Amino acid sequence: MIWQTSRFAVDLSWPRVMGIVNLTPDSFSDGGQYFAEGDARPALAHAEQLLKQGADVLDLGAESTRPGAQPLPLAQELARLLPVLREAVRWGVPISVDTSKPEVMQAVLDLGADIINDVWALRQPGAAAVVAGHPSCGVCLMHMHGEPRSMQIQPMTGEVLPQVVAFLRREAMALQAAGVDRHRMVLDPGIGFGKTVAQNFALLAQQTELLALGYPVLCGWSRKSSLGAVVGAPGEPLPAEARSNASVAAALLAAERGARLLRVHDVQATVEAIKVWRACAAAA
Q: What is the set of active-site residues?
A: 224, 263
Contact 264, 247 (CB under 8 A): yes
What are the start-end ranges of the H helices in 65-206? 74-88, 102-110, 127-132, 160-177, 197-205
Amino acid at 108: V
SS3 state of residue 72: coil
Using an 8 Å Cβ cutoff, are 179 and 132 in contact? yes
d(C-alpha 257, C-alpha 279), whole Å = 16
* Contact partners, residue 52, CB within 8 Å, separation at least 6: none
| Contacts (Cβ under 8 Å, ≥6 apart) of 94 | 5, 7, 8, 10, 56, 57, 58, 114, 115, 138
CA distances from 200 to 49, 116, 126, 189, 191 (A): 30, 24, 30, 9, 6
Using left for φ > 0, alpha for ψ between -120 and 50, and beta otherwise, residue 180 falls in: beta
Segments in 133-258 forming alpha helices (H): 160-177, 197-205, 225-231, 244-256
Burial class of residue 254, CB neighbours in 10 A (0-12, 13-18, 19+): buried
